[in-house]
Structure 1
Amino acid sequence: MSSLKNKGFCKIVATLGPNTSTEEMIDRLVMSGVSVFRFNCSHGSLEEYQQRIKGIRAAEKKYNCNIGILFDLQGPKLRIGRFKDSAVITLKEGDKFRVDLSPEPGDKTRVSLPHPEIFQAMQEGLELLINDGIVRVRVDSFTADSAETTVIAGGQISDRKGVNVPGAHLPISALTEKDLKDLKMAEDLGADFVALSFVQKAEDIIYLRSLMRSQAGVIAKIEKPKAVEDLDKILEVTDVIMVARGDLGVEMNSERVPVIQRRMINACRKAGKPVIVATQMLESMVNNVTPTRAEASDVATAVYEGADAVMLSAETANGKHPIEAVSTMRRIITTVEREIKIQEPPVSFKVADNPEQAIIAAAGMSAKTMAMASLIINFTDSGTTTKRTAKERPYVPILSLTPYEDIARRMTLVWGVTSMKVKNLESFDDILREARAAALASGMAKEGDKAVITAGVPFGHSGDTNLLYIVSI
């Protein structure tokens, strides 16, 4: 295994797009630090996805590493209709404005809102946010097919601008017909993760799982206030949480977003579920070769808070400097993590919830207290042992060994983990032999280094971690 060193503990997710679809660009992005590639199902075709996957799997083979593939389903898009002559309409505070189900082109007094579900959830005082919240209107009165509103924040709107309804639970499925087709395509192409947009409640995730044929990891995108309210239940049924700050920042006051981000990261850490922080992390690098100081601080904050991964969207999909964006993010991550390790408090014993977690906690403490310990090695069938290890944030590299390729790829989103596929093990001697061979092959250790091994015996029982062993490589 060719070691891609200095990637840090926090992972990088990069979105592929027109500027980064060639095998050469994908190779360079992997070398710069990308662990997971995101496909935005709002853009792209089957042929483009196939070409990108070919490049990703070629990089996997070249560097003998696992790379995750994430398909991000578009979800329902709520939009206003069109205006006469495609006019740009300026609304001022205090203006009266009607939205309705009529398909007629709009003007300065009204526009079509072709979503009966919104009218089903309508109520007086409800706010509708148009064009990413630039224009805000408050409902004064309504019927089954129209609503009279007052503009409370003015601005410009035009054809097909998006609408957000933060104060209502909309009776609308998180999966559209397009999403169902994209889900089938993603599974046929071997997606490692599927992200669901417009999540409002845990049942949305349960419904997605009921439709899936594969064992791909499910990512719940938290971008609506209703999902924030139901976070604990969503955490119980999802594999990963994404803090999707774009729509979240539209649907609630901006000052609340950092608070919600920290709360969600803490909840995921407690639950042992990976969490991705996304949207506008290095937005200025779409055009500029360096980020703003505020953007660097934003990435650093996510790392300090313990996020498993940070994500780039337009920066790598269609930005002018995709390689520089990834490299910059990687440097920020490694710099912050170096500081965290320096400032880390002394090792203290924790109360474990179960025997398996006690073993994992002991492994982390053993690695920390042994100055010469190079890494922690997990043997896992389902990935549970590895995620429990990462939950402790030992700030020691974690080498996850599994007999299943799909599990190895699903570990690419987990904090601090390098994953490798190994053959099925039958004895303790097999563990020692495979651990030594994998540690050397990965470049994560050299002969004479110490490693802390965790596993479950007898083999084949998911989650039964009951072995801790310190080995010389």
Structure 2
Amino acid sequence: MSRRTKIIVTLGPATQDEDTIGRLIDLGANVFRLNMSHAKHAWAAEMTRLVRRQASDRGVHVAVLFDLTGPSIRTGEVEKPYQLAIGDLVEFRREGTKPTIPISTTVNYAGMMDDVSEGSTLVVDNGTLLMQIQSRQDDRIICECKNAGELGSRRHINLPGTRLNLPAMTDKDRNDLALAIECEADYIAGSFVRDAAHVHEIRRAIEALEGTAQVVAKIEDQEAVRNIDAIIQASDVIMIARGDLGIEVAFEELPLLQRRIVKRCHELSRRVIVATQLLESMIQNPTPTRAEVTDCSNAVYEEADALMLSGETSVGKHPLRCVDALIRIASRIERSGGMGYGQGVLLREERQKTARAAVTLVDSMPDARLVVLTRRGVLANHTAMLRPRTREFYAFTPSEIVCRQLAISRNVRALRLPFAASIDETIKRAAALLIERGHITPGTPMVIVSDILSDHIAANSIILHHA
């Protein structure tokens, strides 16, 4: 794998047949995302089965990410879409109440009226409609429309700058999470995570069901940004979900926020995904805009672990071309270097310091390969966060689950290998497997970093071995 940046593909009507899934894996997709905001349980279970089968047929480790809907606020059903003009008044009311003005719809969050303030901004349908709250009552609010547009059923509502008292997980999320655990999901993404307590709640729910999935925290509002350090440390992976985040903050601030969060994830040694509208125009068009190419390039240059495609591959006309385009961009930009945030990782554990020494050694040896021996993937992730310059970075683990959970980690190729009683024998097996698969030739220098148990002793070690 010459490409370091991992690719996450969202499945949907455009990519749900087994042949297309196999072709996406052949192109280089590392993770498949199932968006539970739209997915039925039977469909999600079938997609997981198809991904697993196609990956197994190819002998590769591909992960599945279940993305929970989260506590999103949506409008109710309307008989037909309202055509709104500037200055029109729109009523949002609690379910079960009657309208008081001609343009009226319900909302699914009864507490919204208690959370908002008069004069605040309300955004509908990902920025399609901008409104200002004119009056607030116990069971409804009246807003003035600031631009013309259409208001349909079940449209998403954002309230930039408003502290919402929504739960971390809804009943739907808990049902979807149970399915994810049943399907042995590798990652579960929590939407609209606002603080570390929300992450802990999701993790407890996973553990209660005896799941092994890692937690992805989606950063989507200003409160999450304010609590970013605590959220990063509570999570396994951070996703910068730029769709909602770009509505919640001034759009000119979004590139700076993205860079700041990516850098902080590096410093705190957490993997990070950049998501949303990477190649949005390719939902319809066969090639990306030049602005999209530059946007994707920036994320690669910032050395994010993974980039995620959403509508481009779930409902777009050119899903395979989208993945190919993203891989071409990533591969080219990686050759020009990166921001170097890996140099700023805060080395707080002995394992991290050992990993730093191994990376320094392998980077000083142009022909060397970096190998990590790890049972749970922790050391491999610590090493990956240091952003070694070598393109040949292998993580050996006896666990199939750990192999899949390394699918998001930048530059890591995970290989399953039963560990021997002694570390020397394990190293011999690892070298033999790399030679057998054509990754190295006999005599290739290997810098091996390990924290596995050897002769009943757990020790951090660095070994220079020639295959």
**TM-score in terms of structure 1 length:** 0.91
In structure 2, distance between residues paired with 1:238 and 1:414: 14
Cα deviation 1:260-316 (Å, max 9, x = unaligned): 111111111111111111111111111222111111111111010010000111111
Q: Match of 1:407, SS?
A: helix
Residue range with higher mean Cα deviation, 181-190 or 136-145:
136-145
In structure 2, distance between residues paired with 1:302 and 1:340: 12
Partner of 1:219: 216
1:246 to 243, 246, 256: 243
In structure 2, distance between residues paired with 1:161 and 1:349: 42
Retained in 1: the 8 A contact 2:37–2:68?
Answer: yes
Instruction: Verify: 1:467 aligned to 2:461, yes or no.
Output: yes
Partner of 1:409: 404
Partner of 1:312: 309
Residue range with higher mean Cα deviation, 116-125 or 221-230:
116-125
**Aligned 1:298-309 pairs, distance under 5 A:** 298-309=295-306
Cα deviation 1:125-153 (Å, max 9, x = unaligned): 32211222232223344232233444444
What's the C-alpha RMSD, in Å, of the aligned pairs?
Answer: 2.5
Instruction: Verify: 1:290 aligned to 2:301, yes or no.
Output: no
2:201 to 188, 200, 207: 207
Instruction: Verify: 1:21 aligned to 2:16, yes or no.
Output: yes
1:237 to 223, 234, 238: 234
1:453 to 431, 448, 454: 448
Which residue identity is paired with 1:239? D
In structure 2, distance between residues paired with 1:178 and 1:429: 50
Cα deviation 1:18-69 (Å, max 9, x = unaligned): 2222221111101111011111112233332333223222232222221111
Retained in 2: the 8 A contact 1:350–1:361?
Answer: no
User: Cα distance, 1:160 vs. partner?
Assistant: 3.1
Partner of 1:380: 374
1:138 to 109, 115, 132: 132
Structure 1 residues 351, 159: closer, same or farther in 2, change over 3 A? closer
In structure 2, distance between residues paired with 1:460 and 1:177: 48
Partner of 1:170: 164
Structure 1 residues 460, 257: closer, same or farther in 2, change over 3 A? farther
Q: Match of 1:186, SS?
A: helix
Q: Match of 2:337, SS?
A: helix
Q: Match of 1:261, SS?
A: helix
In structure 1, distance between residues paired with 2:454 and 2:344: 28
User: Cα distance, 1:194 vs. partner?
Assistant: 0.5
Which residue identity is paired with 1:112? T
In structure 1, distance between residues paired with 2:114 and 2:358: 54
User: Cα distance, 1:99 vs. partner?
Assistant: 3.1
**Aligned 1:31-180 pairs, distance under 5 A:** 31-83=26-78, 85-93=79-87, 95-101=88-94, 103-104=97-98, 108=102, 110-180=104-174
User: Cα distance, 1:452 vs. partner?
Assistant: 0.7
Which residue identity is paired with 2:214? G
In structure 2, distance between residues paired with 1:338 and 1:394: 13
In structure 2, distance between residues paired with 1:111 and 1:351: 50
Cα deviation 1:350-397 (Å, max 9, x = unaligned): 984443222211211111111211x21101122111011111101213
Which residue identity is paired with 1:283? E
User: Cα distance, 1:422 vs. partner?
Assistant: 1.3
Retained in 2: the 8 A contact 1:81–1:105?
Answer: no
User: Cα distance, 1:423 vs. partner?
Assistant: 1.0
1:190 to 184, 189, 198: 184
Unmatched 5+ stretches in structure 1: none
Retained in 2: the 8 A contact 1:99–1:113?
Answer: yes
In structure 2, distance between residues paired with 1:324 and 1:465: 46
Cα deviation 1:323-357 (Å, max 9, x = unaligned): 1111111111110111118x989x99998444322
Structure 1 residues 98, 19: closer, same or farther in 2, change over 3 A? closer
In structure 2, distance between residues paired with 1:29 and 1:146: 47
User: Cα distance, 1:415 vs. partner?
Assistant: 0.6
Retained in 1: the 8 A contact 2:267–2:345?
Answer: no
Retained in 2: the 8 A contact 1:439–1:445?
Answer: yes
User: Cα distance, 1:107 vs. partner?
Assistant: 5.3
User: Which runs of structure 1 show a deviation greater than 6 angstroms over 4 or more consecutive aligned residues?
Assistant: 347-351
2:268 to 267, 271, 286: 271
**TM-score in terms of structure 2 length:** 0.92
2:259 to 242, 262, 271: 262
Q: Match of 1:71, SS?
A: strand
Instruction: Verify: 1:330 aligned to 2:327, yes or no.
Output: yes
Retained in 1: the 8 A contact 2:117–2:133?
Answer: yes
Retained in 1: the 8 A contact 2:93–2:99?
Answer: no
Partner of 2:358: 363
Which residue identity is paired with 1:147? I
Residue range with higher mean Cα deviation, 18-27 or 323-332:
18-27
Structure 1 residues 354, 45: closer, same or farther in 2, change over 3 A? closer
Unmatched 5+ stretches in structure 2: none
User: Cα distance, 1:321 vs. partner?
Assistant: 1.4
Q: Match of 1:412, SS?
A: coil
In structure 1, distance between residues paired with 2:282 and 2:257: 25
Number of equivalences: 462
User: Cα distance, 1:113 vs. partner?
Assistant: 3.4
Q: Match of 1:190, SS?
A: coil
Q: Match of 1:332, SS?
A: helix
Retained in 1: the 8 A contact 2:84–2:145?
Answer: no
Structure 1 residues 115, 402: closer, same or farther in 2, change over 3 A? same
Retained in 1: the 8 A contact 2:282–2:312?
Answer: yes
Residue range with higher mean Cα deviation, 166-175 or 295-304:
166-175
In structure 2, distance between residues paired with 1:40 and 1:404: 26
In structure 2, distance between residues paired with 1:294 and 1:43: 29
In structure 2, distance between residues paired with 1:295 and 1:283: 8
Retained in 1: the 8 A contact 2:266–2:344?
Answer: no
Retained in 2: the 8 A contact 1:90–1:108?
Answer: no
Which residue identity is paired with 2:27? S
In structure 2, distance between residues paired with 1:296 and 1:323: 16
User: Cα distance, 1:75 vs. partner?
Assistant: 1.6
Q: Match of 1:301, SS?
A: helix
Residue range with higher mean Cα deviation, 15-24 or 138-147:
138-147
Which residue identity is paired with 2:197? E
